[in-house]
Structure 1
């Protein structure tokens, strides 16, 4: 047992992804898995991941995670298309079965020397002191209950509760979990079939009969996940009722006017009588969405992430996607503090700086999820009321129709779905310390996925260097023309030698990359990017001292007693 390990409680997508990211940052971790290590295959339990989230998941060339990407999103009402959006590499979500995602994460962790998973471990004691955390687990019994007697004590530097909605960590910490129960409820079915359209997702409103709202989203292998909106607190859904939903919905879609909604509507009775077409039913279920938010996400050296910290999911908001954002945000901050407190980088950072770095996780992520939940609360009565002819106005979101709001949630746009921007982060460089230049990405927002070249000539995408794959800080120089020249020709040209030396001297593990262009950026712009893909600042090159200011801000401030840069130095 290593007292320096970060203890991760829970082996769902968030906990596994957090452990994997920590390993990439060189931080040892221990995952306490309450189960037996076996992942149950449930085809009806799926995840929709935004491109920026999915980019850092394990996808080795010989074993990529099977996922479907939609070419189009279409919204229909009364069998007529009212909204359609073409999707590309930057906007198309990844749709993957959750058990496939979890198995891929476990397989990736098995290759990491700094990560280990201990199965059958039920947490029942959590203690903290100034130097670390102590956890006690009991082995799970044959019925899934905690066994009596014995158990194991674990010692670690930090602990993160990723143990789901009924989080034991949250309860042991005494953190309230306020919110609303059963905000939305859907009947779900996964079936292998052919629909009148391919590679596109569909939201069908007022389809006919009892089907007020149906969503169809493709998965790999000709599988579709279908969701039917149910009364939030209605009766149980019987197998017979679910089969009726499947048959009548497929009959509508295969009937006259059902092929993509490009017809004139057709006769509704004829549609209902049409044959549903052959299908293979793989899995069914009922999914209930709750709205809850933990009062605190950090208590000393213990943190909450994923469903242990928040419950989302109404109006298309994706729970697993938000949990993975938690993991990406927290992993690099734990790594910065872990490396500095271990003395790897020489003088240890002061305790105030540690508090700034670790405290920024709660302020950034809890603030982002709280804004998302408020937006859902404001949109729900507008989206779910009958008729829906009036336009909805959300603070900062402009006027949107109810169906447009639903589309935003499903496609990751607007207040209901777009990735958070941390413009007021505690890790932002102090006002007046850095000069910035305009780019299309505002400070604190996720960066675009552009092509980049490393100093060794390796080419790839920017997102491939995130979450530990490129270090704790990325510095990207916008240098037109570098893509057509061998790296040995421009490594020693212009500002490159000075910039490379400055990046190598930063107090964080940093990587220098170059790109031909970036949206809205002028040549020789230097982008300073956090390892979770959010922009710190866009600097005019070469502002070497200001680059150091950005790095110091990400580690909670300069070391105590460090010399402040003079105005002349700051503009070098």
Structure 2
């Protein structure tokens, strides 16, 4: 068999997570090869919900605006009882991370967009119609035996491999990595429609023990229904066209429109026991399987890609020590499991079991309307776990984990440049590390900052943000940009920002808060973490 030269990163699986990882690595100037056993990206509907964190990650390869142009942006949910009357609603209005929190999209469009964008990078390629047969690794590289579409084989060598090959992940099985968690006893029927006559743009959640279901609007007059199979119903029975038409007749005006897909699924709440084994990493469904009740399965996978990509790039380029890669396993599973638990909780609300339980749940939610903080907690979707880590590649500041900025995703406010043009934070930061100062006098923004030995190796970009009522002049010394916090959002989400310098990672998580008073200890800890002492 022929053997190829060493590739820095090989991604197995050209789904949305694999293609996202490839685009991020390519944007970070890392050569990458994607191996995909199918001959094209997915052509049928799959995931349909994309959130603010995922759209933010798409800013790095510059695809957020293009995807948003194809989305149904900023929608909520209405929870309905057996009588089809609403008893709760979720309609978040905040955009802390620069994008609406809930949006409907089409996975085939996203995959095609990611694949096409990858073509602009000479150091990136996708190999469709090829399948990994074996995997071996040592301390220096991973060796894959790959079968081409013509039946021939070759050996592909890579410094690192990302397994983005789905819930059944052949690579996970080759590695001998097991999973823990649960599989739902009840199956669900998924129906995708085209040309809906229903113009209601919120999700309807039918919390009816007689037939739990979801009615989700999509972009371009698409619509998805999900219905739980009842005791004794078979896959063949519920996918029969007459059965499907009857369900549609009972849930709106779309009985006779085009059915794009009808398929029965089993839902899982499971997670891999290991996310890294040697030089191989698990991402997306290969690492975690999330019930669809919160629309977070794909989004968790895109978070995996955002977390791992910059670490791989920095290690391969010699800017970070290899131990930084171990933080992927430290950081991601906890947050991914929190989202799985949230989905399971929402599932319990959707599937009350009996009419009595349904009525009790409705009564409880209606009572919460009279308690503004509790009602706000639901309607503004504050029950969704915040993107933050309790352990990982950062320097803790000793503050209460609920209040610290360290390990949390920094907000993305709209900022005003000296010429009064507006720009989002990430569009200023670029793809590298950033040091953010918040100060009313830009001339003093970085006064007293200790020497940062890692500034050059991290390609650190300095940014000065003036508070809302202070114009962004004069330009802060040594800062790439001096801008104004237009709405006060930065200080609102980062209380005490004028007393610290924020070191922000390429994935927009705060790596450290360097105090303006006695910051030397934090800098020493950063040196130790980066092995630069």
Give the TM-score band, short-chain normalised: 0.7 to 0.9
Q: Distance in 2 between matches of 1:327 and 1:66?
A: 22
CA contact (8 A) 1:185 1:232 kept: no
C-alpha distance after superposition, 1:183-223 (max 9, x if no partner): 5533222324555653322223339xx5x333222222122
CA contact (8 A) 1:438 1:521 kept: no
Equivalent in the alignment of 1:221: 220
Q: Residue 461 in 1 paired to residue 427 in 2?
A: no
Equivalent in the alignment of 1:261: none
Q: Distance in 2 between matches of 1:529 and 1:48?
A: 27
Q: Distance in 2 between matches of 1:232 and 1:499?
A: 66
CA contact (8 A) 1:428 1:536 kept: yes
C-alpha distance after superposition, 1:44-71 (max 9, x if no partner): x233121111222252767765111134
Alignment gaps of 5+ in structure 2 = 466-484
Q: Map 1:28-67 onto structure 2 (within 5 A).
A: 28-36=31-39, 38-43=40-45, 45-57=46-58, 58-59=62-63, 66-67=70-71
CA contact (8 A) 2:396 2:512 kept: no
Q: Residue 428 in 1 paired to residue 394 in 2?
A: yes
Equivalent in the alignment of 1:282: 260
Query: Offset of 1:16 from its aligned partner?
Result: 0.7
Q: Distance in 1 between matches of 2:232 and 2:505?
A: 43
C-alpha distance 247-303 of structure 1, shift in aligned 2 (>3 A): same
Query: Offset of 1:313 from its aligned partner?
Result: 1.8
Q: Map 1:356-371 onto structure 2 (within 5 A).
A: 357-371=324-338
C-alpha distance 400-546 of structure 1, shift in aligned 2 (>3 A): farther
CA contact (8 A) 1:3 1:155 kept: yes
Q: Distance in 2 between matches of 1:408 and 1:217?
A: 22
Partner-residue secondary structure (3-state), 1:228 = strand
Q: Distance in 2 between matches of 1:16 and 1:319?
A: 16
Give the alignment partner of residue 12 of structure 2, picking from 9, 23, 28: 9
Q: Distance in 2 between matches of 1:363 and 1:413?
A: 24
C-alpha distance after superposition, 1:301-360 (max 9, x if no partner): 1111111111112432521111111111111121222122xxxx5xxx6xxx523x2221
C-alpha distance 378-279 of structure 1, shift in aligned 2 (>3 A): closer
Q: Distance in 2 between matches of 1:129 and 1:370?
A: 30
CA contact (8 A) 1:93 1:411 kept: no
Equivalent in the alignment of 2:322: 354
C-alpha distance 246-10 of structure 1, shift in aligned 2 (>3 A): same
Q: Map 1:310-349 onto structure 2 (within 5 A).
A: 310-340=288-318
Query: Offset of 1:114 from its aligned partner?
Result: 2.5
Q: Map 1:38-187 onto structure 2 (within 5 A).
A: 38-43=40-45, 45-57=46-58, 58-59=62-63, 66-77=70-81, 78-88=83-93, 90=95, 91-140=100-149, 147=151, 150-187=152-189
C-alpha distance 544-338 of structure 1, shift in aligned 2 (>3 A): farther
C-alpha distance after superposition, 1:432-452 (max 9, x if no partner): 7xxx79997643222222124
TM-score relative to the length of structure 2: 0.79
Q: Residue 26 in 1 paired to residue 26 in 2?
A: no
Q: Distance in 2 between matches of 1:411 and 1:74?
A: 13
C-alpha distance 437-161 of structure 1, shift in aligned 2 (>3 A): closer
C-alpha distance 127-523 of structure 1, shift in aligned 2 (>3 A): closer
C-alpha distance 462-400 of structure 1, shift in aligned 2 (>3 A): farther
Equivalent in the alignment of 2:480: none
CA contact (8 A) 2:294 2:343 kept: no
CA contact (8 A) 2:75 2:102 kept: no
C-alpha distance 430-196 of structure 1, shift in aligned 2 (>3 A): closer
Structure 1 stretch displaced more, 289-298 or 72-81? 72-81
Partner-residue secondary structure (3-state), 1:135 = strand
Partner-residue secondary structure (3-state), 2:57 = coil
Q: Map 1:290-301 onto structure 2 (within 5 A).
A: 290-301=268-279
Query: Offset of 1:391 from its aligned partner?
Result: 6.5
CA contact (8 A) 1:315 1:410 kept: no
Q: Distance in 2 between matches of 1:437 and 1:458?
A: 37
Q: Distance in 1 between matches of 2:224 and 2:378?
A: 17
CA contact (8 A) 1:306 1:324 kept: yes
Structure 1 stretch displaced more, 541-550 or 194-203? 541-550
Query: Offset of 1:430 from its aligned partner?
Result: 5.5
Partner-residue secondary structure (3-state), 2:252 = helix
Q: Distance in 2 between matches of 1:132 and 1:187?
A: 43
C-alpha distance 196-47 of structure 1, shift in aligned 2 (>3 A): closer
C-alpha distance 63-234 of structure 1, shift in aligned 2 (>3 A): closer
C-alpha distance after superposition, 1:83-141 (max 9, x if no partner): 12333362531211111110011011111223111122210121212222111101136
Aligned residues, how many?
A: 482
C-alpha distance 391-246 of structure 1, shift in aligned 2 (>3 A): closer
Q: Distance in 2 between matches of 1:380 and 1:187?
A: 15
Equivalent in the alignment of 1:260: none
Query: Offset of 1:75 from its aligned partner?
Result: 1.7
C-alpha distance 215-320 of structure 1, shift in aligned 2 (>3 A): same
C-alpha distance after superposition, 1:227-270 (max 9, x if no partner): 2232488411222211111112115xxxxxxxxxxxxxxxxxxx
Partner-residue secondary structure (3-state), 1:250 = coil
The Cα RMSD (Å) is 3.8
Q: Map 1:186-335 onto structure 2 (within 5 A).
A: 186-193=188-195, 197-206=199-208, 212-231=211-230, 234-236=233-235, 237=238, 238-250=240-252, 279-335=257-313
CA contact (8 A) 1:68 1:96 kept: yes
Alignment gaps of 5+ in structure 1 = 142-146, 252-275, 393-398, 482-489, 563-572
CA contact (8 A) 2:190 2:264 kept: yes
Equivalent in the alignment of 2:437: 477
Q: Distance in 2 between matches of 1:408 and 1:438?
A: 20
